[in-house]
Amino acid sequence: MRAGRVVFIGAGPGAADLITVRGVRRLAQADVVLFDALTDPALRELAPGALWIDVGKRGFCEATGQDTINALLVSHARQQRHVVRLKGGDPSVFGRLEEELLALAAAGIECEVVPGVTAALAAAAETRRPLTRRGTAGAAGRSVSLSTAMTRQARLHAGRHADTEVFYMAGRQLGALGRALRQAGWADDAPVCVVSRAGWPDAVSSEHRLRALAAAAVLHAGRPTVVTVGAGAAALAQPSGPPGLESAPAGRALAAP
């Protein structure tokens, strides 16, 4: 039997207009869309005739979710449908893309991956703090790492691998992340930016010194959050006066809804 195909599309981090033009075009061709919890419901208007299936954490239990999603992808594609797998941010960044590509390869099903704006980039845009810096106004930022603080055993793990590090999935453990980063060699007063719901109209961002990162917990509670530490978290030097962090030892909101 001839199989259909599966297109993985990065929906971007928030508002529907952050998806790519290619993503919009592929979505419009979908017969079936398997979507995640963090994608904007407004995207449905781009494929109104498709069958939309919620495979986010709220729709399926964590323990069996991945196998179920893999099976749904394979079975819909085998019915010669155009299947879209819509993922928040970029599919290749903490998106379980590996598991799904392997399942489709094993079933001999053709795939395409359309990239999206990952949360780290949306957070940098939100705060207008470039992730890479030439070092003209302080520490140079030549390297950026995207990390998750959570291991598969749900233990917290943090290191120091780049001039700028962006941590995903650490929103519930900001205090512990701060301690782990200091143990990994980051200075007590290293600049940190915390951004939740980046790319949405109600995005919130705050800036902190590393020693006071725990203070961000209340502000961002219950929201998808990324934490940027190092060169890319520093405020840009102002033409006059000191950078904003100097006056904000306990954390300061950069923008509120």
* Residue among 8, 35, 168, 186 that touches ligand SAH (CB under 6 A): 168
Q: How is residue 217 written in tokens?
A: 């917990």
* Residue among 27, 113, 158, 198 that touches ligand SAH (CB under 6 A): 198
Indicate the pairing of strand 5-10 with strand 51-54: unpaired
Strand partners for 253: 206
**Residue 70 or residue 205: which is nearer to ligand SAH going by CB?**
205
CA distance 87 to 116: 9
93 binds ligand SAH (CB under 6 A): yes
* Residue among 147, 164, 205, 225 that touches ligand SAH (CB under 6 A): 225
Binding to ligand SAH by CB under 6 A, coded x per residue (else -) over 30-49, reads --------x-----------
Which DSSP helix (H) or strand (E) runs through 113? strand 110-114
* Residue among 39, 70, 164, 196 that touches ligand SAH (CB under 6 A): 196
Strand partners for 9: 86, 114
Quick one: which segment of 41-49, 106-114, 163-171, 174-182 binds ligand SAH (CB under 6 A)?
163-171
14 binds ligand SAH (CB under 6 A): yes
CA distance 159 to 180: 8
DSSP string, 73-94: HHHHHHTT-EEEEEESB-TTSS
Which among 16, 67, 8, 1 is positioned nearest to 200, based on CA atoms? 16
Residue of 57, 67, 188, 189 marked catalytic: 57
- What residue ranges bind ligand SAH (CB under 6 A)? 13-14, 38, 87-90, 93-95, 118-119, 122-123, 168-169, 171, 195-199, 224-226
